[in-house]
């Protein structure tokens, strides 16, 4: 039954906004108006939100002297990507490049750090997320924006819940509650996160009552995003209580709501939960139908965590029907994918002790910063009172001395902590940099490879556009134009020259790739080498079929033959083997 809940766990953060409110969309809207529009729609309307983010970037481009607009644009792009479950490998690289410029505006810097934490969290890169979270917390004491501070602490709570440190997650949620009132829209988000912690701790009955009590209020507000999340998590509670009828009703309600939105992320979770429900009531045909829908969306959104749960559910359903071959196939696929995910989880586990030290150090710095801010306010107030009476001046001096002494004591304690942990921090920072550099190099290689594949096709499309631009509207001319376009397409379909050009560019990104393969496996054919190259740059079977002008089933057959030529055991992944070749 826990499988049902895990399919909802990563989707409970239904809103990560900075500014509330709505506004009309004028032809040339200022940055704040666009931000409010994105804020309102990015969870429910993906395409609209992406268009508005693009307009926000254009405004930032027209005002390069204002880095705050650029920081706001990248923050909202990150929020849309996170809410929709999308994956943009260049996002963290672009954020890092802006952070490297050392923003002079503290608010801009905190927004960029927040964006990086959010982006890494969405990708499941928790060590990197924690690294930027430390810097984010250190800088948060320099800003005075209640809504942004709420988002920072709320995100920290969620990050700790992902690594199952529920006590610290609850502590950060309590800090977030100090910066928001129950009347604000985001307050339901905070409640949803806290109720989820109760569920994870095994307090099922308490979590169930909490979710049930909130739903009528959300229905009155017509808060679609919150209702989807609450019904989804309530269904998980009912499933854990073996109340299958109520669980089904909650999932059905969530599905009706999510069908009015443009968010595949929640649809995947709902379809999987419905598949698990029909498995429990032994309607295996319907169970497989919903699990298949969930599997297609998980592939579309490139969501490995969700896909692993779906593969496990498929194995369970086929096992219940005594379809041993199918059950074994999905169980094997689940184990392969789960091993990859566990590798990332183990990396996170290694860094948890290191992160705890950094977070504690950051919190101490934050407390000192807050005390210093409070001290300056008191100094200002006492300076005014000193002009009125000598007694007020004496009080001012006493308070000032007391605060300075207290601040000095805190700084002394902080220096002791920093000196004690300095060697450990440097060691882990070096390891982090090494992992990040290796990851960045792989990402850039793959991006360059995709660019090389698209280069010739884009040139052909431009030729077609230039040819169609010659059409003047005459019927006689249309035939000539059509023949020219047809000739261009035929001349560019999988020609030897195109393959030679591809090899030339491919070898620049992956030096000696073909040479190494042929040295080990000289019996490989030219088509085998093409298939290996396309697999090496991460193309899907559908994309490979399009490139080779064959059916996807033929690609599967070719992959099978390639495994035989490599003499790969059944438990070894062909894609991983080729990437390491």
Q: Which residues pair with 262 in a beta bridge?
A: 45
Residue 5 pLDDT > 50:
no
Q: What is the pLDDT of residues 439-477, one digit of tens each?
A: 555 555 554 555 455 555 656 666 777 777 776 667 667
pLDDT confidence of residue 556 = 93
Classify the phi-psi angles of 20: left when phi > 0, otherwise alpha if psi is within -120 to 50, otherwise beta.
beta
Through-space distance between the first and last CA atoms of the chain, rounded to whole angstroms: 41
Q: Which residues pair with 45 in a beta bridge?
A: 262
CATH class (in words) of the domain with range 494-579: mainly alpha
Q: What is the DSSP letter of 114?
A: H
Nearest to 72 by CA among 181, 158, 145: 145
Burial of 114 (0-12, 13-18, 19+ CB in 10 A): buried
Residue 555 pLDDT > 90:
yes
Residues contacting residue 314 through CB under 8 Å, at least 6 positions apart: 288, 291, 295, 326, 330
More confident residue, 543 or 425: 543
pLDDT confidence of residue 559 = 93
* Helix (H) or strand (E) run with residue 477 in it: helix 475-491
Percent share of the chain, pLDDT over 90? 13
pTM of the model: 0.56
Label residue 505 by pLDDT band (50, 70, 90): confident
Q: What is the pLDDT of residues 467-476, one digit of tens each?
A: 777 766 676 6
Residue 188 pLDDT > 80:
yes
Residue 558 pLDDT > 90:
yes
More confident residue, 242 or 464: 242
Label residue 174 by pLDDT band (50, 70, 90): very high
Rounded CA separation 233/221 (Å) = 19
Label residue 367 by pLDDT band (50, 70, 90): low
| Structural tokens at position 350 | 């290694």
Mean pLDDT in residue range 316-337: 87
More confident residue, 389 or 272: 272
CB atoms within 10 A of CB 269: 33
Rounded CA separation 30/175 (Å) = 33
In the block, residue with structure tokens 């091993």 = 339
Residue 479 pLDDT > 50:
yes
């Amino acid at each position: 039954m826990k499988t049902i809940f895990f399919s909802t766990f990563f989707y409970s953060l239904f809103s990560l906004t900075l500014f509330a409110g709505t506004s009309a969309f004028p032809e040339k809207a200022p940055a704040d108006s666009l931000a409010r529009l994105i804020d309102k729609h990015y969870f429910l309307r993906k395409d609209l939100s992406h268009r508005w983010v693009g307009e926000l970037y254009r405004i930032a481009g027209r005002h390069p002297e204002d880095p705050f607009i650029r920081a706001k644009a990248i923050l909202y792009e990150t929020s849309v990507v996170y809410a929709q479950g999308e994956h943009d490998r260049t996002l963290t690289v672009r954020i890092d490049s802006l952070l490297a410029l050392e923003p002079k505006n503290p608010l801009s810097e905190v927004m960029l750090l927040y964006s990086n934490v959010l982006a890494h969290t969405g990708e499941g890169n928790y060590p990197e997320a924690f690294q930027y979270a430390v810097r984010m917390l250190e800088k948060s004491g320099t800003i005075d924006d209640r809504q942004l501070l709420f988002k920072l602490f709320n995100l920290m709570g969620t990050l700790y819940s992902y690594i199952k440190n529920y006590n610290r997650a609850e502590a950060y949620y309590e800090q977030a509650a100090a910066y928001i009132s129950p009347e604000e829209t985001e307050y339901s988000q905070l409640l949803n996160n806290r109720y989820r912690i109760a569920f994870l701790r095994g307090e099922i009955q308490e979590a169930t009552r909490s979710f049930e009590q909130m739903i009528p209020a959300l229905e009155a507000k017509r808060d679609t995003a919150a209702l989807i999340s609450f019904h989804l998590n309530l269904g998980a509670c009912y499933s854990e209580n073996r109340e299958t009828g109520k669980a089904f009703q909650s999932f059905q309600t969530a599905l009706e709501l999510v069908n009015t939105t443009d968010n595949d992320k929640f649809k995947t979770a709902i379809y999987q939960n419905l598949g698990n429900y029909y498995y429990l009531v032994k309607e295996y045909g319907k169970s497989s139908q919903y699990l298949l829908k969930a599997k297609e969306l998980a592939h579309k959104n490139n969501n490995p965590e969700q896909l692993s749960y779906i593969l496990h559910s498929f194995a369970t359903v086929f096992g219940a029907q005594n379809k041993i071959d199918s059950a074994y196939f999905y169980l094997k696929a689940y184990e392969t994918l789960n091993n990859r995910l566990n590798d990332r989880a183990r990396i996170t586990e290694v860094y948890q002790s290191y992160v705890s030290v950094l977070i504690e150090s950051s919190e101490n710095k934050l407390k000192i910063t807050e005390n210093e801010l409070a001290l300056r306010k008191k100094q200002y107030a006492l300076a005014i009172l000193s002009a009125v009476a000598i007694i007020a001046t004496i009080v001012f001096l006493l308070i000032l001395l007391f605060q300075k002494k207290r601040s000095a004591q805190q700084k002394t304690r902080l220096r002791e902590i920093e000196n004690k942990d300095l060697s450990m921090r440097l060691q882990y920072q070096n390891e982090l940099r090494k992992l990040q550099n290796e990851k960045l190099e792989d990402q850039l290689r793959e991006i360059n490879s995709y660019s090389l594949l698209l280069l010739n096709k884009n040139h052909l499309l431009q030729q077609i556009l230039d040819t169609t631009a010659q059409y003047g509207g005459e019927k006689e001319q249309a035939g000539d134009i059509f023949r020219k376009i047809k000739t261009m397409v035929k001349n560019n379909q999988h020609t030897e020259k195109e393959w030679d050009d591809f090899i030339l560019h491919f070898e620049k990104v992956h030096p000696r790739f073909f040479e190494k393969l042929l040295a080990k496996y000289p019996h490989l054919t030219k088509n085998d080498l093409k298939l290996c190259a396309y697999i090496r740059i991460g193309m899907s079977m559908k994309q490979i079929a399009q490139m080779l002008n064959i059916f996807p089933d033929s690609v599967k057959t070719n992959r099978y033959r390639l495994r035989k030529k490599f003499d790969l055991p059944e438990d070894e992944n062909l894609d991983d083997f080729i990437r390491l070749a």
